[in-house]
Amino acid sequence: MILNATIQDDRKPVVLLHGLYGSARSLGVIGRALAQSWRTVSLDIRNHGASSHAPDMQYATMADDVFETLDQFGITQATLIGHSVGGKIAMMAALRAPERVASLAVMDIAPVAYPPDHGNSADGVIDALRTIDLHPGLTRREADTTLASRIPDPGLRGFLLQNLVPGEAPYWRIDLDAIEAAMPNLTGWQDPKPCKPYMGRALFIHGDKSDYVSAGAATEIRTRFPHALIRTIPNAGHWLHAEQPDTVVAVLEDFLKQ
């Protein structure tokens, strides 16, 4: 699948992969900062943003989406930066085709399976979004009011409602059915076969308030990515790039310049 892409100039390419329920704009603060020195390629993963919808959301399939999209622009090798689900896509891409991944940066996720109720329950989010009646003339304010009873965090509601196109013919940019069906794959992890360690440079950063990268997860990271640097971002949770953008950008820039 060719993904929707936003690409700038002809410098060394850095590909940005957002997480679940996000879009290319979710990593906009990182993309804008890195675009000063690198060619940034911001992708909408399948079933998100302006990319096409399809039921298959295996990580191997989504890694192939990345390479197929880059092929369209003549990019044979790039650094991959991914957050959450996007980080798992980036890891899978590096393990499947290491010659195409110049280096790897993963934000607040590990190559492990997480329980379905880890963090915000994905099933709960989808159920909550489905409570919004997509009637003609729907406004974002109305949708936010409906969603508030199920998702009290206004920041999370605002993030999720970026996927809603209101108006006379409202619709979701994300494919709720495909994401719901794929949730066991998205929360899980299965190594490619055969799985040889990625020997390139790798950076894993996580928030000190997040529980996505435990001591056990760090062991799994280093098994597959022997040269991985693991950095903790102070005063940040899973959405570390939104909570501590300056620190995250500085860490990424330092890694990319090495």
> What is the domain-level CATH number for residue 212?
3.40.50.1820
Structural domain harbouring 214: 5-114+188-257
Check if the beta carbon of residue 57 is closer than 8 Å to that of residue 20.
Answer: no
- Cα-based distances in Å from 234 to 127, 206, 212: 33, 9, 15
Residue 238 is a catalytic residue: yes
Tokens 């974002």 locate to 140
Residue 56 is a catalytic residue: no
- Same domain flag for 108 and 225: yes
Choose, from 48, 206, 238, 241, the residue flagged as catalytic: 238
Looking at 160, 181, 202, the residue that finishes a domain is: 181
Residue 177 is a catalytic residue: yes
- Same domain flag for 57 and 104: yes
- Whether pTM exceeds 0.85: yes
Check if the beta carbon of residue 34 is closer than 8 Å to that of residue 62.
Answer: no
Choose, from 56, 64, 144, 177, the residue flagged as catalytic: 177
- Same domain flag for 110 and 25: yes
- Same domain flag for 47 and 103: yes
Q: What is the pLDDT along the chain (258 residues), one digit of tens a residue?
A: 988 887 756 689 999 999 999 999 999 999 999 999 999 999 999 999 999 999 999 999 999 999 999 999 999 999 999 999 999 999 999 999 999 999 999 999 999 999 876 655 455 899 999 999 999 999 999 999 999 999 999 999 999 999 999 999 999 999 999 999 999 999 999 999 989 999 999 999 999 999 999 989 999 999 999 999 999 999 999 999 999 999 999 999 999 998
Backbone angles phi, psi at 45, to 5 degrees: -70, 165
- Same domain flag for 110 and 126: no
When divided into structural domains, the chain yields a total of 2
- Same domain flag for 109 and 12: yes
Distance CA(83)–CA(177), nearest Å, equals: 22
